[in-house]
Copies of this chain bind each other. A is one copy, B any other.
Amino acid sequence: MGLVVQKYGGSSVADAEGIKRVAKRIVDAKKNGHQVVVVVSAMGDTTDELIDLAGQVSPIPAGREFDMLLTAGERISMALLAMAIKNLGHEAQSFTGSQAGVITDSVHNKARIIDVTPGRIRTALDEGNIAIVAGFQGVSQDKKDITTLGRGGSDTTAVALAAALEAEVCEIYTDVDGVFTADPRVVAKARKIDWISFEDMLELASSGSKVLLHRCVEYARRYNIPIHVRSSFSGLQGTWVSNEPQGDRKVEQAIISGVAHDTSEAKITVVGVPDKPGEAATIFRAIADNQINIDMIVQNVSAASTGLTDISFTLPKTEGRKAIDALEKTKPTIGFESLRYDDQIAKISLVGAGMKTNPGVTAGFFEALSDAGVNIELISTSEIRISVVTRADEVTEAVRAVHTAFGLDSDSDEAVVYGGTGR
């Protein structure tokens, strides 16, 4: 038996009872002969409470101090978890991100891991300890300041430690049973996925699936660390994310892995852009200079009579105001006619490596939407994904229709193979 890294989120350690339940699960893994490293998030609402306190003393808290503040959260949960494990008669030691050797850049509040030097963790393991590590945090390489990794940071800590320690698996414990073929809150018949490739998981994550963040999956793929997403409540097998199905588990790659949706984006249309070289570049340079990430881009065929075209793109709603302000400033340079802002949109994506070799998936996708009476506003594709933008109020209907059409519903036996005219 080798080394496993387990990660527990805030909802799993929300109170003393949760911490004791998690401690038992960790001790079970140890009893099974594994060396165990545990990455833990802050308890339940702790982080929100700390953010609230910060807001009371300063409207715009400084990055360095904000990180110092927030990292108190994991310090509490990891110490309590180590105590609970020792109370069960097993040795445990807790380590901050800094003590665990999680070295980051200096970008406070959203630092990136640049190295992991887990010497103290290795020593603690060799001495028979269970090592408990604070998720979400590290120490900056240059200034030795405490940093936090931003959204999904604890998952990334877990994968990074698993890579540095050459773990067998990184187990991500959460409050759901695994990754599903669609959001179970939208599609009651969504199925738990037993195994999914890194590539498909990356596409799902960037298309709105929230179980694992893109950043964490990307790290796992780079170092080829299998992730096992599972429930900290049920103890059932969850979803394996890896290059190949694990061990003797014969899981065939599904043609379609799942349907993701995202209602967090807005659409901006720049109306009446002169159709000449460089105009699009000027627009997107203005956006990029404001650190705004955009998602889909579509440019209409220009009307021959006017020589003007429209350019639409999607971006996080939270960046909408900033983007509009940036574009208004370019208006004198570009001379477009107007801006339209629309935050009542949804993106629906179909993901599956099988679509590379199975013609007709795109056609089937559009047919399913059409049959459900859903109008398509924008389309974008990658090799293993098709995404469309629809009205926000049609998202539930659209996701269910596509989920059923591709045989993903839990009462159907197998995924359907589509033939046809190609995508």
Residues on A lying within 8 angstroms of B by beta carbon are 16, 19-20, 23, 50, 53-54, 56-62, 64-66, 68-69, 71-73, 75-76, 78-84, 86-87, 92-94, 99, 120, 144
Contact = CB atoms under 8 A, between A and B. Distances in A.
A106 to B, nearest CB: 14
- Specify how many copies of this chain sit in the oligomer: 2
Contacts of A20: 57
Contacts of A57: 16, 19-20, 23, 80-81, 83-84, 87
Contacts of A59: 87
B76 A53 contact: yes
12 contacts: A19-B57, A53-B76, A53-B80, A54-B80, A57-B80, A58-B86, A59-B87, A65-B94, A68-B78, A68-B94, A69-B76, A75-B75
A72 B76 contact: yes
B69 A84 contact: no
A83 B66 contact: yes
B75 A61 contact: no
Contact of A76 (B50, B80, B99, B144): B50
Given A16-B53, A16-B56, A87-B57, A62 B75 contact: no
A72 B69 contact: no
Given A65-B94, A93-B64, A94-B65, A83 B71 contact: no
A75 B146 CA distance: 11
A142 to B, nearest CB: 13
A39 to B, nearest CB: 15
Nearest to A80: B57
Contacts of A78: 68
B72 A86 contact: no
B71 A86 contact: no
